[in-house]
């Protein structure tokens, strides 16, 4: 199965902590394998690792990753999620499914040359919205809903419920 990695560019430590955490959690919940963040942020790493510990994995997060180096070394397909790209429905069938996929989402304005480096510039709509929304929609379409069906074997398990919150706790003695 090809690897699916999200590269978060433009992470601003003070301003984007919550949004980048949401990028990572959305990537995990919707089926990505890992998130790379351009700026070093040990607090972000700890927050995501805590979720993985409690709710299950595998899922990785690395911060302090060089975007230019990552793009240069990436051997799979690079997809840049942007409102300025080609429509998602037109682009999705052209993206190879047998290669690793690097999904690039920005925070602040991304460098203009990213549009040239990316194999695909994909617009999830053409109106302003969050990178979290674009990532969720893309992953759901790319994985055809299977990302949300992924089983996470964590200590905490959220159970479907029409009313209220139902969370079970697995102990080390549980099967």
**What are the domain boundaries of the chain?**
4-169
Question: Among the CATH numbers 3.40.50.300, 3.40.1280.10, 3.10.129.10, 1.10.150.20, which is that of 4-169?
Answer: 3.40.1280.10
14 against 68, higher pLDDT: 68
Mean pLDDT of the chain: 90
Determine the pLDDT at residue 14. Answer: 64
Contacts of residue 151, defined as CB under 8 A and 6 or more positions apart, other chains included, come to: 56
CA 58, CA 69: separation in Å to the nearest integer? 25
Determine the pLDDT at residue 23. Answer: 95
The pTM is what? 0.90
Determine the pLDDT at residue 12. Answer: 67
Average pLDDT of span 96-108: 93
Determine the pLDDT at residue 158. Answer: 83
29 in Cβ contact with 148 (< 8 Å): yes
Q: Hey, what are 164's tokens?
A: 């209220």
Average pLDDT of span 147-161: 84
């Amino acid at each position: 199965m090809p690897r699916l990695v999200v590269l978060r560019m433009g992470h601003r430590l003070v301003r984007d902590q919550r949004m980048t955490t949401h990028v990572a959690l959305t990537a995990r919940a919707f089926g990505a394998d890992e998130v790379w963040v351009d700026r070093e942020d040990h607090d972000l790493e700890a927050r995501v690792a805590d979720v993985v510990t409690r709710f299950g994995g595998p899922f990785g997060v690395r911060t302090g990753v060089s975007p230019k180096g990552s793009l240069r070394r990436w051997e799979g397909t690079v997809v840049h999620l942007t409102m300025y790209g080609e429509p998602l429905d037109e682009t999705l069938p052209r993206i190879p499914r047998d290669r690793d996929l690097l999904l690039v989402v920005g925070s602040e304005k991304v460098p203009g040359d990213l549009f040239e480096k990316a194999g695909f510039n994909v617009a999830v709509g053409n109106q302003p919205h969050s990178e979290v929304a674009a990532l969720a929609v893309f992953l759901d379409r790319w994985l055809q809903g299977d990302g949300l069906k992924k089983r996470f074997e964590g200590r905490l398990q959220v159970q479907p419920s029409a009313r209220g919150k139902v969370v079970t706790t697995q102990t080390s003695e549980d099967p």
